[in-house]
């Protein structure tokens, strides 16, 4: 089923995207127009490039996708933008990746698995497993370094 990755922006995010591309034939990406061209071109999948701070761009790009993988980085504005984009989307499964604690607004979103990680340790395996399963447990999961 189609999956869209929103805001992959570093080499660790790229590893996750590369893994998703191997198990999913319809991989889409929504990338910030602020990313370097060389990084954008190194990512697999169909790319939409736009303003990452505009939730309507994200929700429009996610149209037709079943699963959305949201990469939250250190920009505090992204949290509310992602929430608005998810609420306006037709996504049936959301996987939110963050190093920060979730808040109530995030945890109240339907069909959301929140993976809180430390420096991406053991994250790739968890994302690939969640994306490939027919049914998953939603809610908050802390990924440990071990």
DSSP string, 40-92: HHHS-SEEEEE-TT-HHHHHHHTTT-SEEEEE--S-THHHHHHHHHHHTS--S
pLDDT for the residue numbered 146: 55
Which residue in the block uniquely carries the two structure tokens 């198990």?
23
pLDDT for the residue numbered 89: 96
pLDDT tens digits for 32-70? 999 999 999 999 999 999 999 999 999 999 999 999 999
How far apart are the C-alpha atoms of 54 and 128, rounded to whole Å? 27
Predicted TM-score of the model (pTM) = 0.94
**CATH number, domain at 95?**
3.40.50.720
Q: Count up the domains in the chain and report the number.
A: 1
Give the domain range for residue 49: 3-142
Residues in the chain: 146
Could you give the count of Cα atoms lying within 13 Å of 61 in the half-sphere of its Cβ?
28
């Amino acid at each position: 089923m189609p999956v869209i990755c929103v805001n992959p922006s570093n080499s660790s995010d790229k590893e996750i995207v590369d893994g998703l591309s191997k198990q999913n034939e319809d991989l889409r990406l929504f990338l910030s127009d602020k990313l370097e061209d060389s990084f954008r071109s190194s990512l697999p999948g169909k790319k939409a490039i736009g303003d990452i701070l505009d939730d309507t761009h994200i929700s429009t790009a996610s149209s037709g996708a079943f699963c959305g993988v949201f990469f939250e980085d250190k920009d505090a504005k992204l949290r509310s933008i992602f929430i608005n984009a998810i609420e306006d989307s037709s996504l049936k499964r959301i996987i939110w990746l963050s190093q920060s604690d979730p808040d109530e607004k995030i945890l109240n979103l339907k069909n959301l698995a929140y993976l809180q990680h430390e420096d991406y340790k053991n994250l790739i395996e968890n994302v690939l497993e969640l994306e490939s399963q027919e049914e998953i447990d939603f809610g908050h999961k802390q990924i440990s370094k071990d």
